[in-house]
Amino acid sequence: MWDKLKAIEEHYELLEEKLSDPEVMKDQEKWKKLTMEHADLSQTVETYRRLKKVTQDIEAAGELLKEKQDEEMQAYLQEEIAELQEQKEKIEEQLKRLLIPRDPNDEKDVIMEIRAGAGGEEAALFAANLLRIYLRYSENRQWITEILDSHPTDMGGVKEIVFSIKGRGAYSRLKFESGVHRVQRIPTTESGGRIHTSTATVAVLPEAEEVELSINPQELRVDTFCATGPGGQSVNTTHSAVRITHHPTNTVVSCQDEKSQLKNREKAMRVLRARLLDRLIAEQEKEQAEKRRSQVGTGDRSERIRTYNYPQNRVTDHRIGLTLHKLDRVLEGELEELIEALTAHERAEQLKEAL
């Protein structure tokens, strides 16, 4: 770790030299970029310098202790070394956290997509259960949720639903939810009392700002059509539903939850931007294969990440081998224990890589 920190400090000092260079200051774009990089490293460097100072103080006190001292002075030095050692350990832990690469998307709002998988109507009912979990979790954290598009079933399930969650650090807390979720229970539609296994997929996309992605309007095809499902007399008579196709990536997004065509179009564009940003992130991570392997899972839509077993009141996260016998609490949106364990595992893996 010391070698890594020394290299960071040297790079930081080099940045300081460049920032004071009149030639660099003339190029405002370059100067701004260097300023941001300098600011990002400042906390790490300041903490490293505190570590060096505490380490030097421990060594100095240790040298004094080696000399012949009276008992009172020896006791004082031993106490001081113990206090400094405690400080050093705290600073080292802080530095370990600072060395972990920060995900630039962590503070973003998210768009989540839940789709029923294998299991017919039971899968649709399970998808509705997952929706409730995330809505309750968001409510507990005082985040704002908004349904962007939904396709409910007659029995209260959902074939597919897209919704947004706005709140500080939403992506950092929910990004591990992407993947295949599996349920094992006796379906309400099953008269024989047999346990069935059904699945639903979850996708968590960081919501992209308009300035982050440049979408050429000429590359879009916008179609309007009549909405389907419950929603009043105007549902099947007005062309309020919107479907947008992004030709370069063949990405198709539709939205029909609003009565206004304009509002549906705005929501569809939000989902499109999020999907395109997610696609861009996936491409970047593919190029950095080593980094992707160090993460908790791959976020692949086909990866089975968690099993919810109703008869045993059990939930198991397969990526880290964690089993909790509190499914009833998880169904009420209490995801913190799962999320904290997944976050800690990823941080540990990232720290190994950083060092």
Task: Specify if 289 maps to a domain.
Answer: no
Instruction: Note the pLDDT tens digit of each residue in 52-106.
Output: 999 999 999 888 888 877 888 888 889 999 999 999 999 988 888 787 777 778 8
Q: H-type helices in the chain, by residue range? A: 2-19, 22-26, 28-66, 71-99, 121-140, 170-174, 261-287, 289-294, 327-330, 336-354
Task: Specify if 104 maps to a domain.
Answer: no
The one-letter code for the residue type at 126 is: F
Instruction: Note the pLDDT tens digit of each residue in 278-290.
Output: 888 777 666 554 4
Task: Specify if 290 maps to a domain.
Answer: no
Task: Report the alpha-carbon distance of residue 137 to residue 170 in Å, rounded.
Answer: 11
- What is the chain's alpha carbon radius of gyration, rounded to the nearest angstrom? 27
What integer is the mean pLDDT of 238-242?
A: 77
Domain end position, chosen among 284, 304, 325: 284
**What domain range includes position 134?**
110-211+296-354
Same structural domain, 198 and 301: yes
Task: Report the alpha-carbon distance of residue 278 to residue 123 in Å, rounded.
Answer: 25
**pTM of this structure:** 0.65
Same structural domain, 339 and 195: yes
Task: Report the alpha-carbon distance of residue 57 to residue 63 in Å, rounded.
Answer: 10
Same structural domain, 206 and 250: no
What integer is the mean pLDDT of 244-256?
A: 86
CATH number at residue 221: 3.30.160.20
Task: Specify if 291 maps to a domain.
Answer: no
- Name the domain count of the chain: 3
Domain end position, chosen among 260, 284, 308: 284
Contact 124, 189 (CB under 8 A): no
